[in-house]
Amino acid sequence: MRLLRCSDTGEFSLTEDFVDDEPIPPYAILSHTWGPDTEVAFDELTNGSGKDKPGYEKIRFCGEQAG
């Protein structure tokens, strides 16, 4: 399992994969509707290229709600 992490500066990254008996930090599960061609793909999130897509604002909003 990997989690999306939001830094103090508002940047997003993924945690390393949790394995075996490794402790999992507190987390929130948030859901929303995905729109066509506006959402941030996994590769775009990991390399930072999806920040100009409308879906990035959804990710930012969900991060604020979880914080």
For the chain (length 67 residues), average pLDDT per consecutive 10?
83 85 82 78 87 88 80
What was the pLDDT predicted at 6?
Answer: 84
What was the pLDDT predicted at 64?
Answer: 82
What was the pLDDT predicted at 7?
Answer: 83
What was the pLDDT predicted at 30?
Answer: 73
Residue 27, helix vs strand vs coil:
coil
Radius of gyration of the chain (CA): 13
What was the pLDDT predicted at 24?
Answer: 84
Give the separation between CA 22 and CA 2, rounded to whole angstroms. Answer: 12
Strand extents, DSSP E, 1-67: 4-6, 12-14
CA distance readout (Å), 46 to 16, 20, 23, 59: 12, 24, 23, 13
